[in-house]
Amino acid sequence: MTYVIAQPCVDVKDRACVDECPIDCIYEGARSLYIHPDECVDCGACEPVCPTVAIFYQDDLPPEWAAYSQINADFFRSIGSPGGAARIGPVPYDPPLVAALPPMA
């Protein structure tokens, strides 16, 4: 299991979680942030600093955002496992379900 960033992050991307993450596993897509499921060590440091309450432990995702577990995984199927978000910077991509959302902000 891992932490997942859900819809409240779309078009906000506050990045407080990025600053708090001790292992650099939170990547920036075009409209949202994503936690790499293979790099996350489940420390939970990101969850309490999220101002939009968008980060959830995978088993605790609210039903309306359950699809974000798969959306998060799909992001990394596209970009692979780069081994650190700071190394690659923002990625101009989001999985189709996020890319198709109307503007949130």
Token pair 């923002």 is found at 90
Instruction: Dig out the tokens for 30 from the structure.
Output: 């075009």
Boundaries of every domain in the chain: 3-87
Domain 3-87's class? Answer: alpha beta
**pLDDT digits 0-9 by tens, 15-68:** 999 999 999 999 999 999 999 999 999 999 999 999 999 999 999 999 999 999
Give the start-end residues of each E strand in 1-105.
3-5, 26-28, 33-35, 55-57
Average pLDDT value for residue range 65-73: 95
How far, in Å, CA of 45 to CA of 67, rounded?
23
Average pLDDT value for residue range 59-87: 93
Cβ–Cβ < 8 Å for 14, 27: no
pLDDT for res 83: 86
Cβ–Cβ < 8 Å for 52, 105: no
Task: Quote the DSSP letter at residue 26.
Answer: E
